[in-house]
Structure 1
Amino acid sequence: MEKYKDSDVELMSILLKLQEQTSPIRMSIGYTVGGTVRQGIILYEAAPKVIETLIEKGYTCDLNGCGMRVYKL
């Protein structure tokens, strides 16, 4: 069984803490594009403060048809 990347675990920890301080976050761990499964964390609903904090912490947020993909370069 494949383990999660340290960066994904770090991001999930940040999101849990932010959810406690703001409002519920609706998200997905993984997504599909054209029938192909992709790894990554997608946000569907999150308070603006969540996005601001993620950007301040060096995360990139790409909005696409699936939602907002969050990752570190």
Structure 2
Amino acid sequence: MTNDWHWVAERSGTGRSGAARAVGPEGFPTQGEAESWLGETYPDLLEGGVRAVSLHEGDRRVYGPMSLEPEAG
């Protein structure tokens, strides 16, 4: 059985500020694969206006929202 691990993003600056939407592939088989994908892709997401993401397994939010923006300091 394949789990549906996926990312949900908060997007701003597009006239639909704060609208949640899925980002990335439709589903990853493991949490680790989902997290690896985000680690490789987050600069592109940030450039595209995504400011925060949450990780979901099916309908359950596992964690987030997690900011993609660099920490000040």
Q: TM over 0.5, yes or no?
A: no
Q: Report the TM-score, using the length of structure 1 for normalisation.
A: 0.30
Q: Higher strand fraction: Structure 1 or Structure 2?
A: 2
Q: Higher helix fraction: Structure 1 or Structure 2?
A: 1
Higher relative contact order (CA 8 A, sep 6+): 2
